[in-house]
Structure 1
Amino acid sequence: MDTSRAAGRGGLLALAACVGVWLVSSGSAETVGPPLPSPAEALNTLSAQASYPGSIDPLPGSPPTRIRIPVIRVDAPLTGLGLERDGSLQVPPPARRDLAGWYREGVTPGAVGTAVVAGHVDHATGPAVFYHLGALHRGAAIEVARADGRTAVFTVHGVEVYDAEDFPDDRVYGPSPRAELRVITCGGGFSPRTGYRGNVVVFAHLTGTH
Protein backbone atom coordinates (compact mmCIF):
# COMPACT_ATOMS: atom_id res chain seq x y z
CA MET A 1 0.00 0.00 0.00
CA ASP A 2 1.21 3.53 -0.82
CA THR A 3 2.18 5.06 2.51
CA SER A 4 0.89 8.50 1.56
CA ARG A 5 -2.54 7.02 0.92
CA ALA A 6 -2.35 5.02 4.13
CA ALA A 7 -1.51 8.15 6.07
CA GLY A 8 -4.40 9.95 4.42
CA ARG A 9 -6.98 7.38 5.43
CA GLY A 10 -5.43 7.05 8.87
CA GLY A 11 -5.39 10.78 9.60
CA LEU A 12 -9.03 11.01 8.56
CA LEU A 13 -10.21 8.10 10.70
CA ALA A 14 -8.22 8.92 13.80
CA LEU A 15 -8.83 12.64 13.95
CA ALA A 16 -12.48 12.40 13.03
CA ALA A 17 -12.89 10.21 16.10
CA CYS A 18 -12.19 13.16 18.46
CA VAL A 19 -15.32 13.80 20.45
CA GLY A 20 -14.54 17.04 22.24
CA VAL A 21 -14.28 15.59 25.74
CA TRP A 22 -13.76 18.98 27.36
CA LEU A 23 -16.64 20.63 25.50
CA VAL A 24 -18.99 17.78 26.33
CA SER A 25 -18.05 17.73 30.02
CA SER A 26 -18.35 21.50 30.33
CA GLY A 27 -21.77 21.51 28.67
CA SER A 28 -20.67 23.95 25.97
CA ALA A 29 -23.17 24.88 23.29
CA GLU A 30 -22.66 23.79 19.71
CA THR A 31 -21.54 27.28 18.70
CA VAL A 32 -18.68 27.29 21.23
CA GLY A 33 -15.41 25.65 20.32
CA PRO A 34 -11.98 26.13 18.76
CA PRO A 35 -11.55 28.75 16.04
CA LEU A 36 -12.29 27.83 12.44
CA PRO A 37 -10.27 29.18 9.51
CA SER A 38 -11.65 32.00 7.43
CA PRO A 39 -12.42 31.23 3.76
CA ALA A 40 -9.81 33.92 3.00
CA GLU A 41 -7.10 31.53 4.24
CA ALA A 42 -7.98 28.74 1.77
CA LEU A 43 -5.43 27.37 -0.69
CA ASN A 44 -4.71 29.48 -3.75
CA THR A 45 -5.73 27.13 -6.56
CA LEU A 46 -5.35 29.70 -9.34
CA SER A 47 -1.55 29.76 -9.34
CA ALA A 48 0.63 26.96 -8.02
CA GLN A 49 3.68 29.24 -7.93
CA ALA A 50 1.82 31.87 -5.90
CA SER A 51 1.01 29.20 -3.32
CA TYR A 52 4.66 28.51 -2.48
CA PRO A 53 6.44 31.85 -1.95
CA GLY A 54 10.04 31.57 -0.83
CA SER A 55 10.38 27.79 -1.17
CA ILE A 56 13.86 26.39 -0.64
CA ASP A 57 15.40 23.05 -1.53
CA PRO A 58 14.45 20.12 0.72
CA LEU A 59 16.70 18.91 3.52
CA PRO A 60 17.97 15.38 4.09
CA GLY A 61 15.61 13.29 6.18
CA SER A 62 15.86 13.56 9.96
CA PRO A 63 13.26 12.75 12.66
CA PRO A 64 11.52 15.77 14.18
CA THR A 65 11.64 16.42 17.92
CA ARG A 66 9.54 19.53 18.52
CA ILE A 67 7.03 21.81 16.78
CA ARG A 68 6.68 25.53 17.43
CA ILE A 69 4.00 27.85 16.06
CA PRO A 70 4.81 31.18 17.73
CA VAL A 71 1.72 33.13 16.67
CA ILE A 72 -0.59 30.70 18.50
CA ARG A 73 1.92 29.92 21.28
CA VAL A 74 2.48 26.28 20.41
CA ASP A 75 5.76 24.79 21.64
CA ALA A 76 5.31 21.04 21.86
CA PRO A 77 7.37 17.86 21.79
CA LEU A 78 6.73 15.40 18.97
CA THR A 79 6.27 11.66 19.22
CA GLY A 80 6.29 9.16 16.37
CA LEU A 81 2.92 7.77 15.26
CA GLY A 82 2.33 4.54 13.39
CA LEU A 83 -0.79 2.86 12.05
CA GLU A 84 -3.38 0.88 13.96
CA ARG A 85 -4.47 -2.58 12.74
CA ASP A 86 -7.38 -1.03 10.84
CA GLY A 87 -5.01 1.29 8.98
CA SER A 88 -5.92 4.37 10.98
CA LEU A 89 -3.24 6.71 12.24
CA GLN A 90 -2.34 6.45 15.89
CA VAL A 91 -2.83 9.59 17.97
CA PRO A 92 -0.81 10.95 20.88
CA PRO A 93 -1.92 9.71 24.33
CA PRO A 94 -5.12 11.60 25.27
CA ALA A 95 -3.69 12.45 28.70
CA ARG A 96 -0.85 14.46 27.08
CA ARG A 97 -2.49 17.73 26.13
CA ASP A 98 0.94 19.22 25.33
CA LEU A 99 2.07 16.50 22.91
CA ALA A 100 1.81 16.30 19.11
CA GLY A 101 2.78 13.44 16.80
CA TRP A 102 4.25 12.89 13.36
CA TYR A 103 3.67 9.98 10.97
CA ARG A 104 6.98 8.15 11.31
CA GLU A 105 6.46 5.86 8.31
CA GLY A 106 6.15 8.85 6.00
CA VAL A 107 8.24 11.89 5.13
CA THR A 108 10.20 13.63 7.88
CA PRO A 109 9.48 17.38 8.09
CA GLY A 110 11.86 19.28 5.84
CA ALA A 111 12.56 16.38 3.48
CA VAL A 112 11.07 16.23 -0.01
CA GLY A 113 7.40 15.27 0.04
CA THR A 114 4.47 15.80 2.38
CA ALA A 115 5.11 15.35 6.11
CA VAL A 116 2.20 14.90 8.50
CA VAL A 117 1.87 16.20 12.07
CA ALA A 118 -1.30 15.61 14.11
CA GLY A 119 -2.48 16.56 17.58
CA HIS A 120 -5.52 16.83 19.81
CA VAL A 121 -7.71 19.92 19.84
CA ASP A 122 -8.93 19.44 23.39
CA HIS A 123 -8.48 17.39 26.53
CA ALA A 124 -10.71 16.37 29.43
CA THR A 125 -9.78 19.53 31.33
CA GLY A 126 -9.47 22.10 28.55
CA PRO A 127 -7.83 23.04 25.25
CA ALA A 128 -4.99 20.86 23.96
CA VAL A 129 -1.95 21.51 21.81
CA PHE A 130 -3.71 22.45 18.53
CA TYR A 131 -6.82 24.14 19.93
CA HIS A 132 -5.99 27.42 18.14
CA LEU A 133 -4.80 25.88 14.86
CA GLY A 134 -7.80 27.21 12.95
CA ALA A 135 -6.79 30.79 13.82
CA LEU A 136 -3.64 30.63 11.68
CA HIS A 137 -3.29 32.83 8.62
CA ARG A 138 -1.32 32.44 5.42
CA GLY A 139 2.24 33.62 6.00
CA ALA A 140 2.49 32.33 9.57
CA ALA A 141 5.69 30.50 10.52
CA ILE A 142 5.91 26.92 11.77
CA GLU A 143 9.24 25.67 13.14
CA VAL A 144 10.12 22.00 13.44
CA ALA A 145 13.24 21.10 15.40
CA ARG A 146 14.97 17.95 14.12
CA ALA A 147 17.28 15.29 15.52
CA ASP A 148 20.11 16.50 13.28
CA GLY A 149 20.20 19.82 15.15
CA ARG A 150 18.59 21.82 12.37
CA THR A 151 15.25 23.58 12.59
CA ALA A 152 13.07 23.49 9.48
CA VAL A 153 11.03 26.67 9.05
CA PHE A 154 7.77 26.39 7.14
CA THR A 155 5.46 29.14 5.89
CA VAL A 156 1.71 28.56 5.89
CA HIS A 157 0.11 28.86 2.45
CA GLY A 158 -3.38 27.65 3.29
CA VAL A 159 -5.71 26.75 6.15
CA GLU A 160 -8.86 24.78 5.41
CA VAL A 161 -11.56 22.81 7.22
CA TYR A 162 -13.21 19.66 5.88
CA ASP A 163 -16.16 17.55 6.91
CA ALA A 164 -15.08 14.02 7.80
CA GLU A 165 -17.18 12.49 5.02
CA ASP A 166 -15.62 14.73 2.38
CA PHE A 167 -11.99 14.68 3.50
CA PRO A 168 -9.80 15.12 0.34
CA ASP A 169 -6.99 12.59 0.85
CA ASP A 170 -5.12 13.49 -2.34
CA ARG A 171 -5.29 17.24 -1.68
CA VAL A 172 -3.99 16.86 1.86
CA TYR A 173 -1.59 13.91 1.65
CA GLY A 174 -0.61 13.76 -2.01
CA PRO A 175 3.09 13.70 -3.01
CA SER A 176 4.98 16.93 -3.65
CA PRO A 177 8.29 17.79 -5.33
CA ARG A 178 8.85 20.33 -2.54
CA ALA A 179 9.23 19.93 1.21
CA GLU A 180 5.73 20.40 2.58
CA LEU A 181 4.04 20.02 5.94
CA ARG A 182 0.46 19.31 7.00
CA VAL A 183 -0.65 20.03 10.56
CA ILE A 184 -4.01 18.49 11.41
CA THR A 185 -6.49 18.50 14.27
CA CYS A 186 -10.22 18.04 14.84
CA GLY A 187 -12.60 20.82 13.88
CA GLY A 188 -15.31 21.66 11.43
CA GLY A 189 -17.99 22.45 13.98
CA PHE A 190 -18.96 20.62 17.12
CA SER A 191 -22.04 18.78 18.34
CA PRO A 192 -22.37 17.55 21.94
CA ARG A 193 -23.99 14.40 20.54
CA THR A 194 -21.47 13.40 17.87
CA GLY A 195 -18.34 15.45 18.58
CA TYR A 196 -16.31 17.26 15.94
CA ARG A 197 -17.58 17.03 12.38
CA GLY A 198 -14.25 17.05 10.62
CA ASN A 199 -10.70 18.38 10.57
CA VAL A 200 -8.74 21.61 10.33
CA VAL A 201 -5.73 21.25 8.04
CA VAL A 202 -2.81 23.67 7.77
CA PHE A 203 -0.76 23.56 4.55
CA ALA A 204 2.83 24.82 4.74
CA HIS A 205 6.07 24.66 2.74
CA LEU A 206 9.74 24.85 3.65
CA THR A 207 11.16 28.39 3.44
CA GLY A 208 14.18 28.39 5.74
CA THR A 209 16.41 26.64 8.26
CA HIS A 210 18.45 27.62 11.28
Structure 2
Amino acid sequence: MPPTRVTAAALVFAAGAFTGTWLLDTGARAPAPPPQPSPSEAFASHGALTPRHRESLVRPLPPATPVRLRIPQIRVDAPLLGLRLLPDGSLATPPVNDRRIAGWYEAGTKPGAIGTAVVAGHVDTPDGPAVFYNLGALKKGDSVEVLRVDGRTAVFTIDAIEVYSRADFPSRKVYGASGRPELRLITCGGGFSEEQHAYLGNVVVYAHLARVAGREGARG
Protein backbone atom coordinates (compact mmCIF):
# COMPACT_ATOMS: atom_id res chain seq x y z
CA MET A 1 0.00 0.00 0.00
CA PRO A 2 1.39 3.49 -0.80
CA PRO A 3 2.60 5.32 2.32
CA THR A 4 0.26 8.27 1.68
CA ARG A 5 -2.85 6.10 1.75
CA VAL A 6 -4.57 5.84 5.15
CA THR A 7 -7.26 3.23 5.71
CA ALA A 8 -10.43 3.93 7.70
CA ALA A 9 -9.20 1.60 10.44
CA ALA A 10 -5.90 3.46 10.63
CA LEU A 11 -7.70 6.77 10.92
CA VAL A 12 -9.78 5.47 13.81
CA PHE A 13 -6.67 4.16 15.53
CA ALA A 14 -4.75 7.39 14.97
CA ALA A 15 -7.61 9.52 16.24
CA GLY A 16 -8.04 7.30 19.28
CA ALA A 17 -4.35 7.44 20.10
CA PHE A 18 -4.44 11.20 19.73
CA THR A 19 -7.41 11.87 21.95
CA GLY A 20 -5.87 9.87 24.76
CA THR A 21 -2.85 12.16 24.90
CA TRP A 22 -3.74 15.45 23.29
CA LEU A 23 -3.18 18.86 24.88
CA LEU A 24 -1.23 17.32 27.74
CA ASP A 25 1.34 20.08 27.62
CA THR A 26 -1.35 22.71 28.25
CA GLY A 27 -1.58 22.20 31.99
CA ALA A 28 -4.31 23.18 34.45
CA ARG A 29 -3.74 26.91 34.44
CA ALA A 30 -7.38 27.79 34.96
CA PRO A 31 -8.34 29.27 38.35
CA ALA A 32 -10.42 26.17 39.15
CA PRO A 33 -10.70 22.64 37.73
CA PRO A 34 -13.06 22.36 34.75
CA PRO A 35 -16.46 20.79 35.53
CA GLN A 36 -16.76 17.06 34.97
CA PRO A 37 -19.99 15.30 33.96
CA SER A 38 -21.82 13.29 36.58
CA PRO A 39 -22.31 9.54 36.06
CA SER A 40 -26.00 10.20 35.36
CA GLU A 41 -25.03 11.94 32.09
CA ALA A 42 -23.38 8.79 30.73
CA PHE A 43 -25.17 6.20 28.60
CA ALA A 44 -27.48 3.97 30.61
CA SER A 45 -25.91 0.95 28.90
CA HIS A 46 -23.27 0.12 26.31
CA GLY A 47 -25.88 -0.33 23.59
CA ALA A 48 -26.58 1.81 20.55
CA LEU A 49 -27.79 5.37 20.76
CA THR A 50 -31.57 5.58 21.02
CA PRO A 51 -33.06 8.94 19.98
CA ARG A 52 -36.78 9.47 20.09
CA HIS A 53 -38.49 8.14 16.99
CA ARG A 54 -39.43 11.53 15.60
CA GLU A 55 -35.84 12.73 15.90
CA SER A 56 -34.47 9.64 14.18
CA LEU A 57 -36.39 10.62 11.03
CA VAL A 58 -34.50 13.89 10.48
CA ARG A 59 -33.19 13.92 6.91
CA PRO A 60 -29.37 14.01 6.72
CA LEU A 61 -27.79 17.04 5.08
CA PRO A 62 -25.46 16.94 2.11
CA PRO A 63 -21.81 17.57 3.07
CA ALA A 64 -20.92 21.24 3.64
CA THR A 65 -18.04 22.88 5.50
CA PRO A 66 -18.88 23.89 9.10
CA VAL A 67 -17.93 27.44 10.03
CA ARG A 68 -19.15 28.02 13.58
CA LEU A 69 -20.11 26.11 16.72
CA ARG A 70 -22.69 27.30 19.24
CA ILE A 71 -23.58 25.65 22.54
CA PRO A 72 -26.12 27.97 24.22
CA GLN A 73 -26.13 26.19 27.59
CA ILE A 74 -22.44 26.97 28.22
CA ARG A 75 -22.27 30.17 26.15
CA VAL A 76 -19.96 28.84 23.47
CA ASP A 77 -19.98 30.71 20.16
CA ALA A 78 -16.78 29.73 18.40
CA PRO A 79 -15.35 29.77 14.89
CA LEU A 80 -14.39 26.35 13.55
CA LEU A 81 -10.98 25.62 12.07
CA GLY A 82 -10.26 22.56 9.91
CA LEU A 83 -7.81 20.10 11.52
CA ARG A 84 -5.65 17.54 9.71
CA LEU A 85 -3.53 14.58 10.70
CA LEU A 86 0.12 15.30 11.45
CA PRO A 87 2.93 13.22 9.90
CA ASP A 88 2.97 10.95 12.97
CA GLY A 89 -0.73 10.14 12.47
CA SER A 90 -2.01 12.27 15.34
CA LEU A 91 -4.55 15.02 14.88
CA ALA A 92 -3.38 18.62 14.92
CA THR A 93 -4.83 20.75 17.70
CA PRO A 94 -6.47 24.17 17.48
CA PRO A 95 -3.99 27.03 18.03
CA VAL A 96 -3.33 27.84 21.68
CA ASN A 97 -3.01 31.57 21.01
CA ASP A 98 -6.79 31.91 20.55
CA ARG A 99 -8.85 30.28 23.30
CA ARG A 100 -12.12 30.85 21.40
CA ILE A 101 -11.39 28.53 18.46
CA ALA A 102 -12.53 24.93 18.11
CA GLY A 103 -11.41 22.54 15.38
CA TRP A 104 -13.13 19.88 13.29
CA TYR A 105 -11.53 16.88 11.59
CA GLU A 106 -11.82 18.00 7.98
CA ALA A 107 -10.94 14.65 6.42
CA GLY A 108 -13.85 13.04 8.24
CA THR A 109 -17.61 13.51 8.21
CA LYS A 110 -18.95 17.04 7.87
CA PRO A 111 -21.45 17.85 10.66
CA GLY A 112 -25.02 17.17 9.53
CA ALA A 113 -24.07 14.57 6.93
CA ILE A 114 -24.36 10.83 7.55
CA GLY A 115 -21.54 9.60 9.74
CA THR A 116 -19.63 10.63 12.85
CA ALA A 117 -18.29 14.19 12.80
CA VAL A 118 -15.56 15.16 15.29
CA VAL A 119 -14.97 18.57 16.90
CA ALA A 120 -12.10 19.14 19.34
CA GLY A 121 -11.27 22.08 21.57
CA HIS A 122 -8.88 23.05 24.33
CA VAL A 123 -10.12 22.94 27.91
CA ASP A 124 -7.54 25.56 28.89
CA THR A 125 -4.40 27.26 27.59
CA PRO A 126 -1.54 29.16 29.25
CA ASP A 127 -3.87 32.18 29.29
CA GLY A 128 -6.70 30.47 31.16
CA PRO A 129 -9.99 28.65 30.43
CA ALA A 130 -10.60 27.88 26.75
CA VAL A 131 -13.54 27.15 24.48
CA PHE A 132 -14.40 23.72 25.95
CA TYR A 133 -13.68 24.52 29.59
CA ASN A 134 -17.34 23.97 30.55
CA LEU A 135 -18.01 20.99 28.27
CA GLY A 136 -18.42 18.70 31.28
CA ALA A 137 -21.28 20.87 32.58
CA LEU A 138 -23.57 19.90 29.69
CA LYS A 139 -26.57 17.62 30.20
CA LYS A 140 -28.44 15.06 28.16
CA GLY A 141 -30.95 16.86 25.94
CA ASP A 142 -28.88 20.05 25.60
CA SER A 143 -28.34 21.39 22.10
CA VAL A 144 -25.24 21.87 19.97
CA GLU A 145 -25.54 24.04 16.85
CA VAL A 146 -23.17 23.81 13.90
CA LEU A 147 -23.44 26.62 11.36
CA ARG A 148 -22.41 25.60 7.85
CA VAL A 149 -21.21 27.42 4.78
CA ASP A 150 -24.42 26.48 2.92
CA GLY A 151 -26.46 28.65 5.30
CA ARG A 152 -27.97 25.75 7.19
CA THR A 153 -27.55 25.08 10.90
CA ALA A 154 -27.33 21.47 12.00
CA VAL A 155 -28.85 21.27 15.48
CA PHE A 156 -27.75 18.24 17.50
CA THR A 157 -29.25 16.85 20.71
CA ILE A 158 -26.87 15.47 23.31
CA ASP A 159 -27.32 11.77 24.07
CA ALA A 160 -24.60 11.40 26.71
CA ILE A 161 -21.42 12.89 28.16
CA GLU A 162 -18.76 10.42 29.26
CA VAL A 163 -15.26 10.61 30.75
CA TYR A 164 -12.47 8.21 29.80
CA SER A 165 -8.96 7.67 31.08
CA ARG A 166 -6.11 7.72 28.57
CA ALA A 167 -5.56 3.99 29.05
CA ASP A 168 -9.21 3.07 28.42
CA PHE A 169 -10.22 5.41 25.62
CA PRO A 170 -12.86 3.52 23.52
CA SER A 171 -11.83 4.54 20.02
CA ARG A 172 -14.41 2.43 18.21
CA LYS A 173 -17.26 3.73 20.35
CA VAL A 174 -16.22 7.35 19.91
CA TYR A 175 -15.20 7.31 16.25
CA GLY A 176 -17.08 4.31 14.86
CA ALA A 177 -19.11 4.69 11.67
CA SER A 178 -22.79 5.59 11.96
CA GLY A 179 -25.72 5.28 9.59
CA ARG A 180 -27.11 8.63 10.73
CA PRO A 181 -25.64 12.10 11.37
CA GLU A 182 -23.81 12.17 14.70
CA LEU A 183 -21.41 14.53 16.42
CA ARG A 184 -18.64 14.12 18.97
CA LEU A 185 -17.19 16.98 21.01
CA ILE A 186 -13.88 16.16 22.70
CA THR A 187 -11.63 17.88 25.21
CA CYS A 188 -9.27 17.03 28.06
CA GLY A 189 -10.63 16.03 31.45
CA GLY A 190 -10.80 13.18 33.90
CA GLY A 191 -8.72 14.92 36.53
CA PHE A 192 -5.26 16.44 36.44
CA SER A 193 -1.92 15.03 37.52
CA GLU A 194 0.38 17.60 39.07
CA GLU A 195 3.21 15.08 38.87
CA GLN A 196 2.76 14.49 35.14
CA HIS A 197 1.51 18.03 34.53
CA ALA A 198 -1.17 16.48 32.35
CA TYR A 199 -4.85 15.70 32.19
CA LEU A 200 -5.63 12.06 32.86
CA GLY A 201 -8.21 11.55 30.14
CA ASN A 202 -10.91 13.07 27.98
CA VAL A 203 -14.49 14.28 28.15
CA VAL A 204 -16.58 13.17 25.16
CA VAL A 205 -20.02 14.50 24.22
CA TYR A 206 -22.20 12.26 22.04
CA ALA A 207 -24.98 13.89 20.00
CA HIS A 208 -27.26 13.17 17.05
CA LEU A 209 -28.88 15.44 14.46
CA ALA A 210 -32.28 16.51 15.77
CA ARG A 211 -33.32 19.27 13.37
CA VAL A 212 -32.08 21.65 10.67
CA ALA A 213 -32.47 25.44 10.65
CA GLY A 214 -31.74 28.05 8.00
CA ARG A 215 -31.89 27.69 4.27
CA GLU A 216 -29.63 26.25 1.61
CA GLY A 217 -27.57 28.72 -0.38
CA ALA A 218 -27.45 31.47 2.25
CA ARG A 219 -24.09 32.99 3.07
CA GLY A 220 -23.09 34.78 6.20
Asked if the contact 1:14/1:90 (under 8 Å) is kept, the reply is no
Question: Deviation of residue 141 (structure 1)?
Answer: 0.2
What residue is the counterpart of 2:111 in the other structure? 109
Structure with more of its chain in helix, by fraction:
1
Q: Superposed, which structure 2 residues align to 1:35-54 within 5 Å?
A: 35-45=35-45, 48=48, 51-53=50-52, 54=55
Tell me which residue corresponds to 2:69: 67
Aligned-residue CA RMSD (Å): 1.9
CA–CA distance in structure 2, aligned partners of residues 4 and 33 of structure 1: 34
User: In the alignment, which residue of structure 2 is the partner of 1:209?
Assistant: 212
Rg comparison, structure with higher value = 2
Spell out the pairing of 1:75-154 with structure 2 (5 A cutoff).
Answer: 75-154=77-156
CA contact (8 A) 2:60 2:113 kept: yes
Between the aligned partners of 1:79 and 1:143, the Cα distance in structure 2 is 15
Secondary structure of the residue aligned to 2:202 is strand
Distance 1:6 1:187 in 2: 23
SS in 2 for 1:88: coil
**Match of 1:201, SS?**
strand
**CA distance 1:8–1:128, shift in 2 (3 Å):** farther
Match of 1:171 among 165, 170, 173: 173
Could you say if the C-alpha distance between residues 78 and 46 of structure 1 is closer, same or farther in structure 2, counting changes exceeding 3 Å?
closer
Match of 1:200 in 2: 203
Match of 1:184 in 2: 186
In 2 relative to 1, CA 204–78 (structure 1 residues): closer, same or farther, beyond 3 Å?
same
Q: How many residues align?
A: 204
Do 2:20 and 2:169's aligned partners in 1 also have CA atoms closer than 8 Å?
no
The 2-side partners of 1:91 and 1:126 are apart by 17
Q: How far off is 1:147 after superposition?
A: 0.6
Q: Report deviation, 1:96.
A: 1.2
Structure 2 residue ranges without an equivalent (≥5) = 1-5, 214-220
CA apart distance, 1:7? 4.6
Paired letter, 2:115: G
Distance 1:122 1:112, change over 3 A: same
**SS in structure 1 opposite 2:136?**
helix
TM-score between the two structures when normalised by the length of structure 2: 0.86
Moved more, 39-48 or 195-204: 39-48
Give TM-score, length-normalised by structure 1: 0.90
Q: Is the 8 A contact 2:164 2:202 kept in 1?
A: yes
Q: Find the aligned partners of 1:20 and 1:189 in 2 and give their Cα distance.
A: 14
Partners of 2:59 and 2:33 in 1: how far apart? 38
Secondary structure class of the residue paired with 1:108: coil
Structure 1 unaligned runs (5+)? none
Q: Structure 1 residues 121-130 or 15-24, which shifts more?
A: 15-24
Report how far residue 5 of structure 1 moved: 4.8
**Deviation for aligned residue 1:8:** 5.1
* Letter in structure 1 aligned against 2:23: C
1:9 maps to a residue whose letter is A
CA distance in 1, matches of 2:82, 2:9: 16
